[in-house]
Amino acid sequence: MTAYSLRARLVTLWILLLTSAIATAYLMFGVYAQSTGVQVAQADVTVGRACREILDRYAALVGLRAGVAEADLAGVVEAALAGFSGIEGGIWSAADGSVVYAYPTYEGTGPKTDLPAAERDTIAAVNAQALRANHAVSVNRPSRTQVLLLQACPLRASEAGLTAWTMGRAHVNDGPTYTRFLAGLGFLTVTVLGSAAFLGWFLYGFSGRIARLEAALAAPRPDGGDLPRLDRTGERELDRLVDALNAAGGRLREAQARVVAAERLAAVGRLAASIAHEIRNPIAAMRLKAENALVSGDPNRAATALGTVLGQIARVDTLLRDLLNLTQARALNRAPTAVAPLLADCASLHEDFAGARGVRIEIATDGLPEADQPHIDRCQVGRALDNLLLNALQNTPPGGRVHLGAQRVTIDGTLRLRLCVSDTGAGIDPAIRSSLFEPFVTGRPDGTGLGLAIVREIAVAHRGAVGLVADAPETTFVLDLPWRPS
């Protein structure tokens, strides 16, 4: 299932909001355009009715008398247009131009008697067209704020060349409808821009708080804790997560401490039977030698017995020292450590032993960064390398080689220090591979079986791991440690 971030969801919400705003604005414009169209249509019908009213009144006047004076025509037009608000018109002659003009509903300070100069040419053209067509002709002339509506109607009269005409205006980008449209569009624009600004501000602040939490979680911690103590962000929902993480970190540290203690106690319990056996054998040997020396009375035999006793005491002392190293918990002292000098020091401690056995030691630290050093306990890691190196030297035949190397590797996105110790010896007995790091498991008759157990304890204390590489051409032990504590 695909997981989407909160940022992606908020951006999607903003896009949906913007799309909805555009659709709403389009619908508003459509409704306004439709409303404007209705206004223009209504005004066009009114202009046509006014023109027909002039025709009807003129026909009635002609039917009553034979000759019609200009004053009579003016009365006809005034009476016809009096019932149509905002409509002006008159009678037009093809030969003389305007015969009569009237605008009885004009809202100015006095009656309007002058033909509109701006529309004179249009009026003349419409009347000429109506006279040629011999039927009513309508013309609409839109502009930015209004639509000019004109209609001309031929007069049925003895005098040829007369037409009636009417003119009105439909205000399309003016008035209450236009004001409401602009107000709605402005409110929609402010709402969308405000929402976009709010979402941007929220995303910026939220992303910054998340980035600070990520930096705090990714920062190196010298104490080796698994989760750091996070500071509150000021965002209520994030602070609940911060409190939960801080509480979980505390519980995790307590659980890890209990697990480490339990592992040590379990190791001690598993050691109990083996310790009794390992110590009882030297004691039995010392007792037998001492009894035989006392019975024989031979000074040379007594001296030999004392030498044997001292050797067994040394064996018991080594056993007890390794046992204490295994069971005593020691706090880690992590610090940035140069790995190459550490490996060189470990190799120098065993140079004489390696030379006596005819084994050479090779060191490889190529690729380690000089400016960045791992945070480890140098003393304890040195002890682990000593044990691994000593085991390798003891199992390598004369003329063989022991390789000691270090690398910086990335495992599951985490930087780690990988220490490798390999030898050209006979390898590990398959029968003890599965329990190789358990106490008292050894493949040598003179070994205590505690060296690799100590290495494992040091690796666990560093939150790392140690293992034997399977199917390697040489016997290779790998110690993986975190580059920095997490």
> Per residue in 393-424, pLDDT tens?
888 999 999 999 999 998 888 889 999 999 99
Domain boundary among 154, 178, 202: 178
Task: Report pLDDT digits (tens) over 417-463.
Answer: 999 999 998 888 777 777 777 776 666 655 556 778 888 888 888 88
Indicate if the pLDDT at residue 61 is higher than 70. Answer: yes
pLDDT score at 6? 65
In angstroms, the Cα distances linking 163 to 62, 128, 254 are 14, 8, 106
The domain total for the chain is 2
Helices 378-395 and 339-349 cross at an angle (nearest 10°) of 50
Residue 224 forms part of a structural domain: no
**Per the confidence metrics, is the pTM higher than 0.75?**
no
Q: How many CB atoms lie within 10 A of CB 306?
A: 14
pLDDT score at 88? 92
Using 50, 70 and 90 to split pLDDT, how confident is the model at 161?
Answer: confident
Residue 113 forms part of a structural domain: yes
Rounded Cα–Cα distance for residues 255 and 176 (Å) = 74
Residue 289 forms part of a structural domain: no
Q: The domain containing residue 136 runs over which residues?
A: 6-178
Instruction: Identify the CA nearest to 362 among candidates 480, 474, 443.
Output: 474
Q: How many CB atoms lie within 10 A of CB 126?
A: 23
In this structure, the chain runs to a length of 486
Read off the tokens for 57. Answer: 């009144």
| CATH number of the domain where residue 61 is located | 3.30.450.20
In angstroms, the Cα distances linking 173 to 29, 147, 181, 400 are 12, 10, 10, 100
Rounded Cα–Cα distance for residues 454 and 36 (Å) = 92
Pick the residue with more confidence: 79 or 289? 79
Pick the residue with more confidence: 187 or 237? 187
Task: Report pLDDT digits (tens) over 178-205.
Answer: 677 677 777 877 887 787 788 778 777 7
Rounded Cα–Cα distance for residues 88 and 417 (Å) = 97
Task: Report pLDDT digits (tens) over 362-392.
Answer: 999 888 888 888 999 888 888 889 888 988 8
Task: Report pLDDT digits (tens) over 129-158.
Answer: 998 888 999 998 888 778 889 999 998 765
Residue 210 forms part of a structural domain: no
Read off the tokens for 161. Answer: 């060349």
Residue 235 forms part of a structural domain: no
Domain boundary among 137, 155, 178: 178
| CATH number of the domain where residue 436 is located | 3.30.565.10
Domain boundary among 160, 178, 196: 178
Residue 317 forms part of a structural domain: no
Residue 336 forms part of a structural domain: yes
Residue 244 forms part of a structural domain: no
